[in-house]
């Protein structure tokens, strides 16, 4: 029988790279234990929500047509509300992605004359057109909804004075992005989000606080809805889909906020009552069930990568020892060769399309070529092992996911092997 090291070798990881990885790993025991403890807590949280909502075999069956009285859909939404400790939730395959879920939450809860405030700087790229920061058809701006932004302070702190000044009579909704996304600012912990919400509500109690929860679900024991958020919003092809959901988004929150979103998603008067689930519910349930451990695996991969690349002097955000609040790892290589080698490694480690070589391409909306590596079961799913970065200085890669820790580990070792082979590092 082949030993693990030999099997690695037969799959392109030499002894030196393997041994180096094991060495780094031996220093991460406590770290991984704490990640596992969080996963244990969140697994119980999800399980309890499923039991309390009385998920039954009938909930997993397909529905068609209007989807009136769709037991599985209604129960799943109860489960999400149970997990996030909210009054209600909207969890639908008709919500096509995270941007759609966020746009829906915003457009349905804002009215002409209202103002939207981001007290945490510029939101995720795709929201620029939703808000109208970059003009677009059907943006909030076109409907007479204005936007204000307060940037974070130099060190990543909240600019409380400026936020106080920015909240006015028109301020209806405050949007808070938990994950740094593809920026260099720190990701916000749930605790810090809670402090910000308390401050905002102290000034204006009836303002709606919405959190873009993408990439953050199940990384901590608490979710933003546990610390005062009126709505949490995310994508099912990230953490909460557990790698099984093939599409979808969710909005969990106060009844009125969720109802507004449902009336916008389907139609005024119909709201949550329609929207057949087809045969997707089993994947939604099972994906949510697996999500705490899948998220833990992705986190371990991120921590492992940070510790490996930090060792070679590459700037990593977050660093090897920092507390984690999302699953994204940024590594700066300073040279295009590093970015390309890293992406080659991730691609070569994939279960799907491992034989293709990722090439930089002109992606719409970007001013430089972008390289992306992913060999996913669900197209574009970023809870699966994936990496991307713009081919321009400082040549940083943003890396995330891994449906299992074992796969993330192999992928990262593969990137290291590529880096070694092209002379970017010496072991
Ligand atoms: C991914 C992401 C989005 C948008 O999600 P899509 O599914 O790509 O549309 C929004 N905000 C953050 C922080 C994200 O990470």
CB of 124 within 6 A of ligand 1: the answer is yes
CATH number of 64-278: 3.40.640.10
Furthest-apart CA pair in the chain: how many Å? 72
- Burial of residue 68, with CB atoms counted within 10 A of its CB: 0-12 exposed, 13-18 middle, 19 or more buried: exposed
pLDDT score recorded for residue 363:
80
Is 237's pLDDT higher than 80?
yes
For a pLDDT cut of 90, what percent of the chain falls above it?
Answer: 96
pLDDT score recorded for residue 181:
81
Nearest CA among 218, 207, 233 for reference residue 298: 218
Is 1's pLDDT higher than 60?
no
Rounded to whole angstroms, how far apart are CA atoms 26 and 40?
Answer: 22
Is 79's pLDDT higher than 80?
yes
Ligand 1: which of 184, 213, 235 to mutate, judged by most atoms within 8 Å of the beta carbon? 235
**Which ligand 1 atom is nearest residue 249's CA?**
7
- Going by CA atoms, what residue is nearest to atom 8 of ligand 1? 98
CB of 126 within 6 A of ligand 1: the answer is yes
The alpha carbon of 126 and the centre of ligand 1 are apart by a number of angstroms equal to: 8
- Give yes or no for a contact between 396 and 339, defined as CB atoms under 8 angstroms apart: yes
pLDDT score recorded for residue 7:
96
pLDDT score recorded for residue 367:
75
Residue by residue, DSSP assigns 227-255 as GT-SEEEEETTSGGGTTT--S-EEEEE-H
Reported confidence tier of residue 322, pLDDT bands at 50, 70, 90: very high
pLDDT score recorded for residue 365:
64
Question: In the structure, how many helices (H) and strands (E) does the chain have?
Answer: 12, 12
Ligand 1: which of 99, 370, 376 to mutate, judged by most atoms within 8 Å of the beta carbon? 99
pLDDT score recorded for residue 86:
98
**Residues near 67 by beta carbon (within 8 Å), at least 6 away in sequence:** 73, 274, 275, 276, 277
CB of 212 within 6 A of ligand 1: the answer is yes
CB of 179 within 6 A of ligand 1: the answer is yes
CB of 235 within 6 A of ligand 1: the answer is yes
Judge if 4-42+289-421 and 64-278 fold alike in CATH terms: no
- Going by CA atoms, what residue is nearest to atom 5 of ligand 1? 98
Is 312's pLDDT higher than 70?
yes
- Give yes or no for a contact between 423 and 279, defined as CB atoms under 8 angstroms apart: no
Is pTM beyond 0.85? Reply is yes
CATH number of 4-42+289-421: 3.90.1150.60
Rounded to whole angstroms, how far apart are CA atoms 117 and 149?
Answer: 6
Average pLDDT over residues 343-371: 91
Q: What is the mean pLDDT of the chain?
A: 96
Q: Which residue has the tokens 């008067």?
A: 269
Domain spans of the chain?
Answer: 4-42+289-421, 64-278
Reported confidence tier of residue 2, pLDDT bands at 50, 70, 90: low
Average pLDDT over residues 303-321: 97
The beta-strand segments (E) located in 29-136 are 88-92, 115-118
CB of 98 within 6 A of ligand 1: the answer is yes
Rounded to whole angstroms, how far apart are CA atoms 208 and 107?
Answer: 13
- Going by CA atoms, what residue is nearest to atom 12 of ligand 1? 214
**Residues near 106 by beta carbon (within 8 Å), at least 6 away in sequence:** 116, 130, 131, 140, 173, 175, 210
Average pLDDT over residues 234-263: 98
**Residues near 62 by beta carbon (within 8 Å), at least 6 away in sequence:** 277, 278, 279, 281
Ligand 1: which of 123, 125, 126, 231 to mutate, judged by most atoms within 8 Å of the beta carbon? 126
Rounded to whole angstroms, how far apart are CA atoms 108 and 104?
Answer: 6
Is 11's pLDDT higher than 80?
yes
Average pLDDT over residues 182-193: 90
């Amino acid at each position: 029988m082949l030993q693990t090291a030999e099997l690695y070798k037969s799959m392109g990881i030499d002894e030196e790279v393997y041994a180096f990885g094991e060495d780094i790993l031996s220093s991460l025991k406590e770290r991984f234990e704490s990640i596992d403890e969080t996963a244990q807590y969140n697994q119980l949280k999800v399980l309890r929500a499923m039991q309390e909502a009385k998920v039954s075999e009938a909930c997993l069956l397909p529905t068609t047509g209007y989807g009136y009285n769709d037991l599985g859909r209604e129960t799943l939404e109860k489960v999400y509300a149970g997990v996030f400790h909210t009054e209600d939730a909207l969890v639908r395959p008709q919500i096509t992605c995270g941007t759609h879920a966020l746009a829906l939450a915003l457009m349905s809860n804002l009215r002409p004359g209202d103002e939207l405030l981001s007290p945490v700087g510029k939101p995720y790229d795709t929201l620029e057109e939703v808000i109208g920061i970059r003009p677009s058809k059907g943006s909030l701006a076109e409907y007479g909804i204005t936007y204000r932004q307060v940037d974070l302070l130099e060190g990543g702190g909240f600019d409380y004075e400026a936020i106080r000044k920015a909240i006015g009579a028109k301020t209806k909704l405050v949007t808070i992005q938990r994950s740094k996304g593809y920026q260099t600012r720190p990701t916000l912990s749930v605790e810090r989000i809670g402090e910000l919400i308390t401050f905002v509500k102290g000034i204006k109690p009836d303002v709606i606080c919405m959190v873009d929860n993408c990439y953050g679900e199940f990384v901590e024991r608490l979710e933003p809805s546990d610390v005062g958020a009126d709505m949490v919003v995310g994508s099912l092809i990230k953490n909460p889909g557990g790698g099984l959901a093939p599409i979808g988004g969710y909005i969990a929150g106060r009844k009125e906020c969720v109802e507004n979103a449902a009336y916008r998603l389907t139609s005024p008067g119909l709201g949550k009552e329609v929207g057949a689930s087809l045969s997707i519910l089993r994947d939604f349930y099972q994906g949510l069930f697996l999500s705490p451990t899948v998220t833990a695996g992705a986190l371990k991969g991120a921590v492992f990568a940070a510790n490996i690349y930090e060792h070679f002097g590459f700037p990593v955000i977050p660093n090897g020892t920092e507390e984690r609040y999302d699953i994204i790892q940024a590594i700066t290589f300073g040279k295009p060769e590093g970015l390309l080698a890293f992406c080659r490694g991730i691609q070569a480690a994939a279960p799907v399309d491992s034989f293709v070589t990722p090439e930089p391409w002109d992606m719409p909306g970007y001013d430089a070529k972008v390289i992306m590596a992913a060999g996913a079961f669900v197209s574009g799913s970023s809870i699966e092992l994936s990496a991307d970065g713009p081919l321009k200085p400082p040549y940083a890669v943003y890396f995330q996911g891994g449906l299992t820790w074992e796969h993330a580990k192999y992928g990262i070792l593969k990137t290291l092997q590529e880096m070694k082979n092209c002379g970017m590092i010496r072991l």
